[in-house]
A and B are shown apart, each in its own frame.
Chain A
Amino acid sequence: MHRFANPARFLRLASAILPWSSALSALLIAAGLYFALFHSPADYQQGETVRIMYVHVPSAWLAMACYSTMALSSAVALIWKHPLADLVAKAASPIGAAFTFLCLVSGSLWGRPMWGTWWAWDARLTSMLILFFLYLGHMALINAFDDPSRGAKAAAILALAGFVNIPIIKFSVDWWNTLHQPASVSKFGMPSIDPAMLLPLLLMALGFTCFFVTVLLIRVRTEIIASKLRAIRMTQIHAVPVAVPVAE
């Protein structure tokens, strides 16, 4: 069972890291929220709604970081056929989709007071929406096959193709957006940020990252156990019982 040699080591490592990463993410997010809600100034233009940024921006960062994680592990899976890499890619995509969704929803909530509408075809929001579709496609493809290893391989190729395409899509959407909208509307974000705003933003970003690592580890661990169970059941079905001599 050479295939499971590495996962066993991973499981031990995960058990060692998990308590720390979960505690750290709770701590960082709590501290970040405290500073974000009570110890940072309101924006002189946007007022209190600027505090949505402390959720919106880190989730956008994590949405992209998740895709990079997914693409990187897909490349490892395709090139070195490392059995863990497929599982990491599979575990990362729903987390990435969740962060992207959070980013879209918080962006929409922020857009209501800022632009007076729930949705504007802002370049960043539009790119995020497309990223969300890429995640959905990846998740759907993984689960579309009866043989899980087929789904993993197809999804790895898709993740890499998507990764190559993301800069092209981003460029196209930016170009399209400047063509169709006055530039002032798409100036969304912080050209010069107050240090008092930077601290909670960084705390939240770190907290989100720790949270991502925690959930990723839990999901990979679940996948390993599930695939171990499947492998044992498959071998049970097909293996020749050792006790019974085989007629020839």
Chain B
Amino acid sequence: MSDFAPNARFSGHGLACLRGERMVFASLDFALDAGGALLLLGPNGSGKSSLLRLLAGLLKPAAGRLAWNDQPVADDREAHSARVHYVGHHDAVKPVLTVWENLRFWAGLHSPAAGDALTAGALERFDLKRLAEVPGKLLSAGQKRRLNLARLLAAPAPVWLLDEPTVALDRASVKRLEADMARHRAEGGMVILSTHAEIDLPGAAELHLNRFTPAAPDMALLAGDGEDWL
């Protein structure tokens, strides 16, 4: 796994995000080294989820660029997808597939090398082993979330992008997730995480997204230079 190299570096320069017709944030820079963690902070609507989707490659930045080891990510999207795990608001659990089938499908799709052993280990780790044959529709919200998080271990990838991962998790599961993140970072992985809850992420850098929100325009703009429009 060369992507777990100790000198890996994931960075963004001058990132801007346009949602609908609104500039959510602009001129955002960050850099993360192997083993590092980044905590995204900011009120609702400040663009935490948008930034995570942008880092995953679901959104294209309106300006700026993302780089892996100073190589632009946009040059090779598939290589970037192989490096990244994204855990969003939806758990992507199919109600008619069993826990095992759900996880095995995602692991196999993400990296064909991920075998049954890794899948079993991930289920074990997230305390889902006894539920392996249970169909997704019978799971509780917390169990679905754990199944979604189990993808992180079932197919190893160096960058974890977690959008409010602790939602619906009980205290014990949060503790386990914290331990997993610590181990992942010790192996040279990176974690970028947004949360409103308390989470223990030692040595994490903080990124306050509201600092990058463009200021509200003057209402005079509405009335101003009307000659030009009409």
Contact = CB atoms under 8 A, between A and B. Distances in A.
Tell me if chains A and B make direct contact, with any CB pair below 8 A.
Answer: yes
Nearest to B24: A238
Given A148-B21, A231-B21, A238-B45, A225 B216 contact: no
A19 interface: no
A149 interface: yes
Interface stretch (A28-36, A101-109, A240-248): A240-248
Nearest to A248: B208
A37 to B, nearest CB: 37
A148 B19 CA distance: 11
Contact of A239 (B18, B208, B214, B228): B214
B23 interface: yes
A240 B63 CA distance: 21
23 contacts: A2-B63, A3-B18, A11-B229, A12-B228, A149-B21, A224-B229, A225-B229, A229-B222, A230-B21, A231-B22, A232-B221, A232-B222, A234-B20, A235-B22, A235-B214, A235-B216, A238-B24, A238-B45, A239-B216, A240-B213, A240-B215, A242-B215, A242-B216
Interface of A: 2-3, 8, 11-12, 147-149, 221, 224-225, 227-232, 234-236, 238-242, 246, 248
Contacts of B208: 248
A54 to B, nearest CB: 35
Nearest to B221: A232
B22 A238 contact: yes
Q: Which of B21, B210, B228 has the most CB of A within 10 A?
A: B21
Contacts of B215: 239-240, 242
A217 to B, nearest CB: 13
A149 B23 CA distance: 13
Q: Is the interface of A mostly helix, strand, loop or mixed?
A: helix
Q: Is the interface of B mostly helix, strand, loop or mixed?
A: mixed
A246 B20 CA distance: 25
Contacts of B18: 3
Interface of B: 18, 20-24, 45, 63, 208, 210, 213-217, 219, 221-222, 228-229
A240 B22 CA distance: 13
Contacts of A231: 21-22
Given A147-B20, A227-B21, A240-B210, A232 B217 contact: yes
Nearest to B219: A236
Given A8-B228, A225-B229, A231-B21, A236 B45 contact: no
B1 to A, nearest CB: 35
A222 to B, nearest CB: 10
A13 to B, nearest CB: 12
Nearest to A224: B229
B214 A234 contact: no
Contacts of A149: 20-21
A230 B21 CA distance: 7
Contacts of A234: 20-22
Contacts of A227: 21
A157 B222 CA distance: 33
A235 B20 contact: no
A146 B210 CA distance: 26
A234 B45 CA distance: 12
Contacts of B24: 238
Contacts of A229: 222
A229 B21 CA distance: 10
B21 A240 contact: no
Nearest to B20: A147
B216 A240 contact: yes
Nearest to A8: B228
Contacts of A240: 210, 213, 215-216
